[in-house]
Amino acid sequence: MKLSVWTYEGPPHVGAMRVATAMTGLHYVLHAPQGDTYADLLFTMIERRNHRPPVTYTTFQARDLGSDTANLFKTACQDAYDRFKPQAMIVGASCTAELIQDDPGGMAETMGLPVPVIALELPSYQRKENFGADETFFQIVRALARPVEKTERITANLIGPTALGFRHRDDITEVTALLEEMGISVNVCAPYGASPEDITRLGAAHLNVLMYPETGEAACRWMERELGLPFTKTVPIGVGATRDFIREVSELSGLPAKLDEARLRLPWYSASVDSTYLTGKRVFVFGDGTHVAAAARIARDEMGFEVVGLGCYNREMARPIRALAKEYGVEALISDDYLDVEARIEELAPEMILGTQMERHIGKRLGIPCAVISAPVHVQDFPARYSPQMGLEGANVIFDTWVHPLVMGLEEHLLHMFREDFEFHDAAGASHHGGAHVPREAGGPSAPHAEIPQDFDAPPEDISGQKKAPGEVIWLADAERELKKIPFFVRGKARRNTELFASERGMQEIGIDTLYEAKAHYAR
C-alpha cells in the first residue's frame, strides 16, 4: 500500500476511455462497479465535451456479486451494441472487476456480435492512465489495421492525440498545417477524430507522425513492423524541435524540407532587449516525459534560462529523461509522488517552475511563478482560444505563457523594492490579484507590516500539514528589517541560507552583518 493524496495519472481504464472518447463509431463496455462513472465528468467538464463519453458501465453492486456479474456484463454489452450500433467495440475491466475474475474479452467473444470486439488487458494495480491509452490504441490498431494500397499523394498519419490531452486539439491543427506546407496531407489522425473504419486505412499513409510517445508509441512500432510505416522521433514543440521535425519528415518522405517562418515570433521576442532579464533564470521542469524534454530544450536554448532540475512522473519515459538530465548536468527526478517533487523544488529554490497543475499549486505555496506545460491539467488549460504547443504558433504561445508569470513576478518585485514608497507598500498587494488599493495608514514604515495580506516570510506550511520548525537562531530587529527589503520570491531562501550559515558557525543571533556574510558565502 502507498498513501497518496494527489495522483498525476488515473487508472489505466481512464486511458482507455481517453482513446474511446477521442474516436467516433467506437464503444467501450467497461466492467466496473457503480461509481466508476465519475470519469465521465473529466470529459464533459474539464474538456467540455458536448456528448457523453461512448462508454457503457456494467455498474455492478454488492448484491450482484456471485454469478450474476458475468450475466450483467453480457446484457450491458448486448444493450450497448443494440443502442449505439458502433463499428467496433472495446471491452475491459476496471480495477474492481479485475478482482472478480469475470473475463470480459472471453465473454464478449462468445456473444457473436457482428462487429469486431477488442479485448483489453489493463493491469490496474501495476500500470496507469498513459499505459492504458497507449495499450488500448495499440490493440485497436493491431486488430483493425491491415496492409492497404498507399495513397498516390504522399500522406502521413497523426498518431497519439487523445481526449483529455494537453492541447491535443490545437496541436493537430498546427501539425497538419506544417505538413500541408511541405505538400503532405493527413491520411488519418488517430485516435482523435478517427473511426474504426479509418483505422483500417492507416496503412495507406507513407509515414506516421508520432505526436505523443506516451499514447501512440506502441501502435507506431507495430505499424513500422507490420505495415512498413516509418515514424518520426522528434516531437515538434519549440523552434529547434520544429525545424528538426521538418528535416526528419523530409528524410522520411523524400520531399524537400519547407518551413515558412513568417509567423514565428519567439526568436525575435527572445532576442529583444526586453528579454535580457530572462537570462539565467533558474527553472525547474516537471511533467510528462515528452513535454519535459521539449520544455527543457526551449528553456535553455530558446529562452536562455538555466535548467536547474527536471523530471517526469511517467516511468515509461524514465530512461530518456534520465539521459536528458545528464546532458543538462542535473539529476533527474522520476516520481509520481508530489511530495518528492515539492521537496526537490524547495531544495532547488528555482525562480520559475514549468510543470503540471500540481506544480502550479506548489509554486503558489512557495511563492514561485509557474507555467503549465503538461497534463494533468484543469479546465482552464482547455482554452477556447487557439493555443497549440507544437509548431510555430506553439512556440509563440509558449513564449507568452512562460514569460507572463515572470513579468508578473517582476511587477511584484518592483512593488517590493519600493515598499517604503508612499504609493507602494506591502498592504497594497499585487496588482494582478484583483485586490482594491489600500492606502497606507499614517504611522511610519512599520505600521503596514501588521496587515500584510500574505506573509511570504512565514515558515511555509507544507501540504502534508507539517509545520516547519523555525530556525533556532534569533533574528535581531535590524536584520529582520533588512531581510524584508529582499524581494519576496528569494526571501525565503535568503532566510534559510542565513539561518544555516549562522547555525553552522554556532551563532545565536543574526544581525545585518550575518545576513550579508551569508549572502557572500552563498553567492553563485
Q: Is residue 515 within 8 Å of residue 479, measured between CB atoms?
A: yes
**Please, what sign has the CA dihedral across residues 137, 139, 140, 146?**
positive
36 is in an annotated binding site: yes
Q: Which is nearer to other proteins, 34 or 279 (CB)?
A: 34
Q: Is residue 119 within 8 Å of residue 108, measured between CB atoms?
A: yes
Beta-carbon contacts of 506 under 8 Å, excluding residues fewer than 6 positions away, are none
* Residue numbers 94-113 binding other proteins by CB under 8 A: 94-96, 99-100
Which one-letter DSSP state was computed for residue 43? I
| Rounded-to-integer distance, Cα 316 and Cα 506, Å | 47
The reply on whether position 33 binds other proteins by CB under 8 A is yes
Which of 66, 125, 256, 520 is close enough to bind other proteins by CB under 8 A? 125
| Rounded-to-integer distance, Cα 449 and Cα 166, Å | 42
Binding residues for other proteins, how many (CB under 8 A)? 58
Find the catalytic residue in 68, 274, 421, 455: 274
| Rounded-to-integer distance, Cα 285 and Cα 312, Å | 8
| Rounded-to-integer distance, Cα 164 and Cα 377, Å | 9
Q: Which is nearer to other proteins, 60 or 212 (CB)?
A: 60
The reply on whether position 148 binds other proteins by CB under 8 A is no
Q: Which is nearer to other proteins, 162 or 270 (CB)?
A: 162
Least distance in angstroms from the C-beta of 221 to other proteins: 26
3-state secondary structure 122-163: CCCCCCCHHHHHHHHHHHHHHHHCCCCCCCCCCEEEEECCCC
The reply on whether position 61 binds other proteins by CB under 8 A is yes
Q: Which is nearer to other proteins, 83 or 521 (CB)?
A: 83
* Residue numbers 187-246 binding other proteins by CB under 8 A: none
Verify whether residue 274 is a known catalytic residue.
yes
Which one-letter DSSP state was computed for residue 39? G
238 is in an annotated binding site: no
Helix, strand, or coil (residue 502): helix
The reply on whether position 67 binds other proteins by CB under 8 A is no
**Please, what sign has the CA dihedral across residues 61, 63, 66, 69?**
negative
Interaction mask 342-371, other proteins, x per CB under 8 A: -------------------x---x------
Q: How far is CA 111 from the centre of its chain?
A: 40
Q: Which is nearer to other proteins, 36 or 198 (CB)?
A: 36
The reply on whether position 44 binds other proteins by CB under 8 A is yes
Q: Is residue 26 within 8 Å of residue 163, measured between CB atoms?
A: no
Interaction mask 444-483, other proteins, x per CB under 8 A: -----------------x-xxxx-----------------
The reply on whether position 4 binds other proteins by CB under 8 A is yes
| Rounded-to-integer distance, Cα 409 and Cα 489, Å | 8
Q: Which residues of the shown chain bind other proteins in the complex (CB under 8 A)?
A: 1-7, 9-11, 13-14, 33-42, 44-45, 48-52, 56-62, 64-65, 76, 79, 83, 94-96, 99-100, 124-126, 128, 361, 365, 378, 461, 463-466
Q: Which residues are annotated as a binding site?
A: 36, 409-410
- Active site positions, annotated: 274
